[in-house]
Structure 1
Amino acid sequence: MRKGKFKEEMDEMAKIFTSSMNIDRWIFHHDLNVDRAHLLMLRKQGIISKEICREILKAIERIEKDGFESLEIMEDVHVAKETRIIEIAGEAGGALHTGRSRNDEIATCLRMASREGLLKIFSSLLRLRETLIKLSERHVETLIPGYTHLQHAQPTTLAHHLLAHESALRRDAERIKDCFRRVNQSPLGASALVSTSIPLDREYAAHLLGFDSIVMNSMDAISSRDFLIECIFVSSSLMTSLSRIAEELILWSSSEFSFVKIGDAFVSTSSIMPQKRNPDVAELIRAKCGSVFGDLMSSLSILKALPMSYNRDFQELTPHLKNALEIAAESAELLSRMLESCEFNEERMREEAERGFTTATDLAEMLVLKGVPFRKAYQLVSRFISEGGGFEKFRSLMRDELGRELMNEEEFLEATDVQKAVERRGNGGPSRDSCLRMIEEERKALEEDKKWFEERKERLESSIRNLRRLSEEAMR
């Protein structure tokens, strides 16, 4: 492309500095499919002949067979590929770029890579949510201490705790679905920035590539990267959810908690301390959350204050997008496998659920149900816990603070029974019936999301199959 334009060859260091070939490997196959769709559209519109279309498609097939490594290291994969096409197909190969710029080409490739990455994350997320629901079904009656500020708060169940995480992941799934809708729009045909005088059929090319629609404004089509920011954001949001589960597995697997034993396949040992079982996978999920946050902040900083329309700064976004999508998908998959390997120490969890007077609120609420204002009941129970003792002490305090006994010993024992405290709490709480209702609701939502995933996956795969079929027919 530099021939006839510049008197000097590009500085070698500058050539390496500006080249995106290393990251372009990620979009190589998408770029070839963009070429196929663009060529078939040009042929349909009568802009290129069947013969030229055939020769270029054959060149593309050969490049795909030879692989990315067969391309010369140049400014980017688009230039390297076009150069190779012209070498194979001759001068006719130059027709490929008719009505097209690298600006709309790379934007299209990135959207295709993004939607593929989102579906991979979604697939891993489906498995993780399935794992949490299955574990919840097994542990509807497994008592654990609930925490606030990492201090014993109120008793709950393992099912209730796991379903809280699953609910957060369900919202992460909803964000991915919403993001996918905005990502799956085609910029192809927008050309450099103001469209082109050549009569392209943008909708046809978009249809061949499995897009739902086109990005209408040509300048917006090639310059917008908010879809990319959104992809990294949903990855960051998901990683936040995953890091919370990972952190709890790290804590719960320590000897101080001893709530869970992580399977051997997901721990390591020490080079000097033979007894160690280090939760390395969970720790790295926790750490990689920070890496994805870094991708988001870097991308926002790169895009900040860029003037319309295309700027080379965009090139620096691709590694962050790739990194965020891949980490999120891998982390969700690994966390699911790790949870499946876990053995929960039910006896130890129940033991801790009964410590720290976690039924104090139940005792106060029983007084409330007998007509005592909540703050007065709260203060009475607080004093009782501070001074210690059993029912006789509590009876004495009722006389002292309330002037009468409002609770007998049987009621006192019922109020302070951990199992009964859990069963009193429905309405989204940890009672058996409440958890079973939540499990049913979450499983229904999961099945709907599985259907959404299969439909989107099949549509994209079907579109690419159709594109390949039409390309093969055009090569005959």
Structure 2
Amino acid sequence: MIREGRLGRGFDKEVALYTSSLGFDRGLLEYDIYADMAHALMLHRQGLLDGGDAKRILALLKEILEKGLDERDLDPDMEDIHMAVEARLTRELGDAGGRLHQARSRNDQVATDLRMKARDDVNALSKATSDLISTLLATASEHTGTVMPAFTHLQHAQPTTLAHHLLSYADSLLRSMERLDEVYRRIDRCPLGAGAVATTSHPIDREMTAGLLGFAGVLENSMDAVSTRDYMVEAAAAAVLIAMDLSKMAAELVIWSTPEFSYIELADEVASTSSIMPQKKNPDVLELIRARYGTAAGGLVSLLTILGALPQSYNRDLQEASPAFFSLIEGVTSSLSVMSKVIRTMKVNAGEMKAASTRDFSTATDLADLIVKERGLPFRTAHQIVGAMVSMAIKEGVEPGQVSSELLDRAAESVAGEKLGLSEEAIKAAMDPVLAVKARSITGGPAPEDVEKAIKERQRELKKREQTLRERESRLNEARKRLLESVSSILEA
């Protein structure tokens, strides 16, 4: 259709298929129709589209919104969804259908459609993130007293609680929600009216179309408006950070579900089995969540590579950025939803977690701290004494709960040349993981009362984030309602 003026030959079929974005664009149809409606209403109000043509165009746009396009409208020769819609308009309305593209280019049209979809998809990502945070906080609130080992280098480090561990992920995800809130504000600017690159000589009203489409304002500079996809990189980066958290969680849960750990058991409905080994209960879904971090990170690299080194303004390279971006966002959203189900339904083996915390001397730091407090030795000396004691205990087959004053004194003599003379009761208390956790009543520490306080604070913060999200969604819904009411007022006039 648009080739008939400048180009003398029809589109080569292979090239048409290669350059067509219709496969991806089907997901933009709703947004394209909304943008068309807003543009038609603005043209009519500005005296650029007469009432009869406006009514016919809006009526057909409403029909397409309700029923979709026919397959014959989706010929690859149309290149994209925007031309497919225009072809339908001109086929049914003749010259009137061709008037809709006045004072507009596909460049600002697609930029607008993409931002409208990005708003909805970022909101969906925020909602899924919020749901997982809520699940983590609810689970944490049930396990403030569930003592377990904290790990560094996947080795027992110090005692903590499951609640403290889960809260670490909730905190990270809350920061990601904050990032999504920030990028949403930068997405929420309307490019429509920027034209191909330098606006138009027609007396259009960009603020009107921005308002009809629920945007907070206009993306002002026309060259920037049609070319920038920086919001995609920013939102994708936030999504990749979420995917990274999910991958870490998945990796831990896979390990925790093994017989060697037995910290958790996955619910049957989220587990898989083997085609040959009947005893298997496999964490396939967690392995896929873990792997899809790589897919998301690859999508971000694709975006950066596609968008880098382009001359300023619109280039067709940008067509490749959109599927990479939206696939990334939708993939992370799906992973969040599945992870929420895994956390909600998993069985926690609190007894095994506590038993594990009594092994491998995870309270060794507490014993060193006791030496510092009771005998006034430098921490480094106390550290060396306890290290020597652990080495002796392992060689002699002494468990952490069996450490005696005599063993500790032997270690002290080997390091510092003198005995410590600590009581058996004091040593036993220092080596108790439950008491070690309670002793860490510090901001951000694992003591149950501090974690309970932190959970309540995070729940309050989450409610604020959820309220912000609801307000955003409400503004979009209200804008779409007003847009359709404006269309109806023209149709009923």
User: What TM-score does the superposition give when structure 1 sets the normalisation length?
Assistant: 0.98
Residue 398 of structure 1 aligns with which residue?
A: 412
Q: Do the aligned partners of 1:99 and 1:200 also contact (CA within 8 Å) in 2? A: yes
Q: Distance in 2 between matches of 1:368 and 1:107?
A: 64
Q: Which residue identity does 2:27 align to in structure 1?
A: W
Query: Do residues 382 (structure 1) and 398 (structure 2) align?
Result: no
- 1:306-345 aligned within 5 A: 306-345=310-349
Q: Distance in 2 between matches of 1:266 and 1:10?
A: 49
- 1:123-202 aligned within 5 A: 123-202=127-206
Residue 368 of structure 1 aligns with which residue?
A: 372
Q: Distance in 1 between matches of 2:69 and 2:367?
A: 69
Q: Distance in 1 between matches of 2:117 and 2:240?
A: 18
Q: Distance in 2 between matches of 1:346 and 1:161?
A: 14
Q: Do the aligned partners of 2:408 and 2:420 also contact (CA within 8 Å) in 1? A: no
Say which of 426, 436, 442 aligns to 1:411: 426
Query: Do residues 283 (structure 1) and 287 (structure 2) align?
Result: yes
How far does residue 251 in structure 1 lie from its aligned partner after superposition? 0.9
Q: Distance in 2 between matches of 1:5 and 1:397?
A: 90
Residue 456 of structure 1 aligns with which residue?
A: 472
Say which of 235, 241, 246 aligns to 1:242: 246
How far does residue 130 in structure 1 lie from its aligned partner after superposition? 0.7
SS of the equivalent of 2:159 reads strand
Q: Distance in 2 between matches of 1:65 and 1:124?
A: 28
SS of the equivalent of 1:68 reads coil
Q: Do the aligned partners of 2:60 and 2:89 also contact (CA within 8 Å) in 1? A: yes
Q: Distance in 2 between matches of 1:57 and 1:406?
A: 90
Q: Do the aligned partners of 1:108 and 1:188 also contact (CA within 8 Å) in 2? A: yes
Report which structure shows greater RCO (CA 8 Å, sep ≥6). Answer: 1
Residue 352 of structure 1 aligns with which residue?
A: 356
Distance 1:356 1:59, change over 3 A: same
SS of the equivalent of 1:296 reads helix
How far does residue 44 in structure 1 lie from its aligned partner after superposition? 1.6
Q: Do the aligned partners of 1:37 and 1:208 also contact (CA within 8 Å) in 2? A: yes
Residue 57 of structure 2 aligns with which residue?
A: 56
Distance 1:24 1:161, change over 3 A: same
Deviations 1:302-360 (A, max 9, x none): 11100011100111111111211111111111100111110001111111111100000
Q: Do the aligned partners of 1:398 and 1:406 also contact (CA within 8 Å) in 2? A: no
Deviations 1:285-307 (A, max 9, x none): 11111111111111111111000
Percent pairwise identity? 39
Distance 1:404 1:210, change over 3 A: same
How far does residue 69 in structure 1 lie from its aligned partner after superposition? 4.0
How far does residue 406 in structure 1 lie from its aligned partner after superposition? 5.4
SS of the equivalent of 2:269 reads helix
Residue 72 of structure 1 aligns with which residue?
A: 74
SS of the equivalent of 1:312 reads coil
User: What TM-score does the superposition give when structure 2 sets the normalisation length?
Assistant: 0.95
Q: Do the aligned partners of 1:367 and 1:406 also contact (CA within 8 Å) in 2? A: no
Q: Distance in 2 between matches of 1:458 and 1:16?
A: 39
Q: Alpha carbon RMSD of aligned pairs, Å?
A: 1.2
Residue 203 of structure 1 aligns with which residue?
A: 207
Residue 463 of structure 2 aligns with which residue?
A: 447
Runs of 4+ residues deviating >4 angstroms = none
Q: Distance in 2 between matches of 1:240 and 1:474?
A: 49
SS of the equivalent of 1:369 reads helix
Q: Do the aligned partners of 2:22 and 2:74 also contact (CA within 8 Å) in 1? A: no
- 1:10-159 aligned within 5 A: 10-70=11-71, 71-73=73-75, 74-159=78-163
Query: Do residues 422 (structure 1) and 437 (structure 2) align?
Result: yes
SS of the equivalent of 1:306 reads coil
Q: Which residue identity does 1:14 align to in structure 2?
A: V
How far does residue 76 in structure 1 lie from its aligned partner after superposition? 0.7
SS of the equivalent of 2:317 reads helix
SS of the equivalent of 1:327 reads helix
Instruction: In structure 2, list runs of 5 or more residues that go unmatched.
Output: none
Q: Distance in 2 between matches of 1:399 and 1:149?
A: 31
Deviations 1:192-235 (A, max 9, x none): 00111111111111111111111110000001011111122111
How far does residue 51 in structure 1 lie from its aligned partner after superposition? 1.6
How far does residue 52 in structure 1 lie from its aligned partner after superposition? 1.4
How far does residue 63 in structure 1 lie from its aligned partner after superposition? 2.1
SS of the equivalent of 1:144 reads strand
Deviations 1:228-263 (A, max 9, x none): 111221111110111111111111111111111111
Q: Which residue identity does 2:445 align to in structure 1?
A: G
Q: Distance in 2 between matches of 1:65 and 1:206?
A: 23
Residue 263 of structure 2 aligns with which residue?
A: 259
How far does residue 77 in structure 1 lie from its aligned partner after superposition? 0.7
How far does residue 404 in structure 1 lie from its aligned partner after superposition? 4.6
How far does residue 72 in structure 1 lie from its aligned partner after superposition? 3.0
Q: Do the aligned partners of 2:193 and 2:199 also contact (CA within 8 Å) in 1? A: yes
Q: Which residue identity does 1:72 align to in structure 2?
A: L
SS of the equivalent of 1:254 reads coil
